Chain A
Amino acid sequence: MASEKIRKVVEMSGISFGVRVGKQGNRKSWSLSRLGTRFWSWFWFILGALYFLLPLYATANFSLRMERDVIGFKAYIRAFEDPEFLKTFLYSNVLALLTIVASIILIVPTAYWIRLRLPEARRIVEFITLLPFVVPAIILVFGLIRIYSSPIKIPFTDTTLFQPLTTFEVGTDILIVAGYMVLGLPYMYRSVDTGMRTVDVRTLTEAAQSLGASWFTIIVRVILPNIRAALLSGALLTFAIVVGEVTLASFLGVPAFGPYLFLLGQHRAYEPAALSFASFLLTWVAMGLIQLFTGGQGQAAGAH
């Protein structure tokens, strides 16, 4: 999945690469212009790779040089020793988990129903899922605070249903998970929708129905297992967003990892670099694991 995405990004940016296993009859096509294209392809690819890799290398290198003239892990040890680190990191992980579960519960049936019964609603929903790219998080968080800092009433009555969500901890947690669901929407919805495209959801549903299955059984036993890879990749992206998110967390005043890292960055030099690099590695390990666990599955679903 990940490699697929990378390939897509690379294709979209107009770069193509790959070894040509030309037959001998193809010799003539190795003209100058072709060599030229190949050169430029590689040029852009390497430039792009450097663009990503250089800062990473700089961060890693910097994080290892806390002690003068020695390469060591002191910055890492310092960072991990701070009790705040563990607290905020765990808290953000829990938020990420909740966000992922809530997103799946909301998005899987929605995407499923749209594929099955409301294909004409597709474009509208896709547009909605793109909104988080257009509307900055800062606007989202101000909107949330503005609406939910007053008590929630039953419409047209004076009966109060909830105290303002921003005034108590669980309330704020609900708000921030809801906000994160919005931020993760583009990634989750798109992954799920793509996953459903690779299996013929409609026919599988009908087959299951004619065998006596209920909607719940169909979603749990037929649809979910067949979009497992897509769910995992959506979940991973959501996870990455939530754990590093600063804006929502700091304005809602929750003890999350993002604001902690941000604060740390203002007072210290080496520890934030160490933590950034560590979280980057964590992400890549997770991606690798997904690739490992779902590689076969993805092929199974695609093959005929």
Chain B
Amino acid sequence: MSYLSISNVTKQFGDAVVVDNFNLDIEKGEFVSFLGPSGCGKTTTLRMVAGFEIPTSGRILLDGADITDKAPNQRNVGMIFQSYALFPNMTVAQNIGFGLRVRKEPEAMIKQRVDEMVGLINLEKHANKYPYQLSGGQQQRVSLARALANRPQVLLLDEPLSALDAKIRVSLRAEIRAIQKSLGITAIFVTHDQEEALSISDRIVVMNVGEMEQVGTPFEIYNFPKTRFVANFVGSLNTADAEVVDPAKGLVSMDGVQLEAAEGTDGRKKGDKVKIAIRPERLSFASEQKKANVVDCIIENITFLGAVVRIQVKIGNTKFNMDTFNNPFLELPKIGAKEQVTCSKEAVLVLDD
């Protein structure tokens, strides 16, 4: 029996089905991200767990208890908002202590917990400041502490980092993850930033217009996307039209250029139209010893991205991006030069057209 169980949950607003038959089991202490484009129903799903929306059908169980129809203030669920939502009339300490005061906990206990939380987010010096005196990153940390002070059973975070600038975003997400791990708290994190989801989660749920596309670890989601949507949405990807040549051997042909795929051709017939996808970092210049999947190409463009150099090559009639690590001692090819590139069988993903 999992800790948080969302089963067959559907949500409609009028005629619009916003979440369609959502099923997910989350273990205690797990960090799960909902990843998907804007409007795919991430927030709505999260709000159903928080109790701000009631599912049209389906059940939500938390630690064995059915919470589907419970009011938000009857659940023990912490919520973090993109806009911080700190109470402007209260200091940092009062904000953090709010939930405990509402529950009429003894003052001594509140004080102790507030001190503990303020320490957890490293804002000891700011405990008596008002929210408007803090930076965005500090405010969001206070909001985290406020949610955690209640010792919630689940922590829900709805794009908590979107309003912050890039540097803070990266450091705060690491901080959130570290605190979540140290407290062993179960968390759901909503984001449309794939890098964020990949870097911070135990598992990722990729969503697309109300439906779950794939659930898996960041490793699985990135390396073995099950659908074209997932492959496209997570990480950057080269895709091209192709045709199955030999399903048994995994051979596909792209404008006459033959490639061998490790899997994905089973159950298909010769002549089937498919899409193939290759991640930019899986392509490399062919060296002598490589034999499989060596193809001719022309260098089209070279972009310097810092740690990575992105080289655009033309294979047949299709342009592919190839990412290589920046190495100051290696000479880059010239634009227009003829080269050979290669990739392993496993790197060639065969997806439905």
Do they bind each other?
A: yes
Contact A300 B98 (CB under 8 A): no
Q: Chain B residues near A5: list those with CB within 8 A.
A: none
Q: Chain A residues near B88: list those with CB within 8 A.
A: 199, 226, 300-301
**B76-97 to A contact mask, C-beta < 8 Å, 1/0:** 1111010101111100000000
Contact A212 B83 (CB under 8 A): no
Contact A204 B79 (CB under 8 A): no
Give Cα A210 to B103, complex, Å.
12
Most chain A CB atoms below 10 A, which of B75, B78, B87: B87
Contact B73 A206 (CB under 8 A): no
A194 within 8 A of B: no
**B110-140 to A contact mask, C-beta < 8 Å, 1/0:** 0000000000000000000010100000000
Total A-B pairs, Cβ < 8 A: 77
CB distance from A195 to the nearest CB of B (A): 12
Q: Known: A203-B81, A225-B89. Contact between A212 and B132, CB under 8 A?
A: no
Contact B130 A210 (CB under 8 A): no
Contact A207 B102 (CB under 8 A): no
Q: Known: A206-B52, A226-B87. Contact between A211 and B98, CB under 8 A?
A: yes
Q: Chain B residues near A209: list those with CB within 8 A.
A: 51-52, 71-73
Chain A, Cβ-Cβ closest to B79: A210
Contact A206 B79 (CB under 8 A): yes
Give Cα A301 to B77, complex, Å.
27
Contact A203 B132 (CB under 8 A): no
A169 within 8 A of B: no
Q: Known: A300-B132, A301-B88. Contact between A213 and B83, CB under 8 A?
A: no
CB distance from A129 to the nearest CB of B (A): 26
Contact A203 B98 (CB under 8 A): no
Interface size class of A (residues with CB under 8 A): 20 to 34
Q: Chain B residues near A208: list those with CB within 8 A.
A: 87, 98, 102
Q: Known: A210-B147, A300-B132. Contact between A204 and B102, CB under 8 A?
A: no
CB distance from A18 to the nearest CB of B (A): 26
Interface residues in B31-61 (C-beta closer than 8 Å to A): 50-52
**A182-215 to B contact mask, C-beta < 8 Å, 1/0:** 0000000000000000011001101111111110
The listed residue (A200, A210, A225, A297) touching B50 by CB distance below 8 A is A210
Q: Chain B residues near A163: list those with CB within 8 A.
A: none
Contact A212 B81 (CB under 8 A): no
Q: Chain A residues near B73: list those with CB within 8 A.
A: 209-214
CB distance from A5 to the nearest CB of B (A): 22
Q: Chain A residues near B143: list those with CB within 8 A.
A: 207
Q: Known: A211-B150, A212-B73. Contact between A206 and B99, CB under 8 A?
A: no
Contact B50 A304 (CB under 8 A): no
CB distance from A31 to the nearest CB of B (A): 41
CB distance from A44 to the nearest CB of B (A): 37
Give Cα A200 to B86, complex, Å.
10
**A286-303 to B contact mask, C-beta < 8 Å, 1/0:** 000000000001001101
Q: Which residues of A contact B (CB under 8 A)?
A: 199-200, 203-204, 206-214, 217, 221-222, 225-226, 228, 297, 300-301, 303-304
Q: Which residues of B contact A (CB under 8 A)?
A: 50-52, 71-73, 75-79, 81, 83, 85-89, 98-99, 102-103, 130, 132, 143, 146-147, 150
Closest 3 CB pairs of A and B: A211-B99, A207-B85, A210-B79
Q: A212-B76, A222-B89, A300-B89 are in contact. List 6 more A-B contacts (CB 8 A).
A: A209-B72, A210-B72, A212-B73, A212-B102, A213-B73, A300-B130
